Amino acid sequence: MTDLDPTLDLRLERQFDAPPATLWRCWTEPELLMQWFCPKPWQVTEAVIDLRPGGRFFTRMEGPGMDGSDPDICAADNEGCFLVVEPERRLVFTDGLRAGWRPVAAPFMTSIVTFAPRDGGTFYTATALHTDPEGRERHEAMGFHEGWNAAADQLAELAATL
């Protein structure tokens, strides 16, 4: 696991009842990822997963305005690239690159997600690595802990059905 730099990184750790294989499916099968990946009322309306180093990881999220009062739908396209794919163990992806290792102008983060068997389930860790302290602070202010925990709750609910 990557050492946490508290000035640059944010981390979520959770114990899930589901085995690593089930959580892996929820992360790597587009139709499953779309069911849990962002906190409601937002939803993933499109997901592309080319599960290999250098492969595309794309999600389109849609939801209400950021303050929840805007009746119009907002959309956010998230284009990224897988860096490491270790089945049922670890996924590393970034928005600093797009598919085919093509750099982007303004990267936001690299994410490391690990799945470790523990107590009949999975110890799950999701770490967001940021370029600078300002990026980390911005992500935390955007609701990293609340949003990633809400998505993890949705992941747990979905995994329980598989």
What pLDDT, on the 0 to 100 scale, is given for residue 2?
66
Nearest of 86, 81, 93, 79 to residue 126 by alpha carbon: 93
Instruction: Measure the CA–CA gap between 154 and 136, rounded to whole angstroms.
Output: 24
Residue at 137 is within a domain: yes
Q: How does pLDDT run across 116-152, given as a tens digit for each residue? A: 999 999 999 999 999 999 999 999 999 999 999 999 9
Number of domains in the chain: 1
Nearest of 5, 18, 14, 10 to residue 157 by alpha carbon: 18
Nearest of 88, 154, 93, 92 to residue 116 by alpha carbon: 88
| 15 Cβ contact partners less than 8 Å away, ≥ 6 residues apart | 118, 119, 121, 122, 123, 124
Residue at 1 is within a domain: no
pLDDT higher than 90, residue 159: yes
What pLDDT, on the 0 to 100 scale, is given for residue 153?
97
Q: How does pLDDT run across 40-98, given as a tens digit for each residue? A: 989 999 999 999 999 999 999 998 865 555 656 678 899 999 999 999 999 999 999 99
Residue at 4 is within a domain: no
Residue at 124 is within a domain: yes
Residue at 3 is within a domain: no
CATH number for 64: 3.30.530.20
Confidence of residue 106 (pLDDT cuts 50, 70, 90): confident
Per the structure, the complete domain to which residue 15 belongs is given by 9-160
Residue at 2 is within a domain: no
Residue at 52 is within a domain: yes
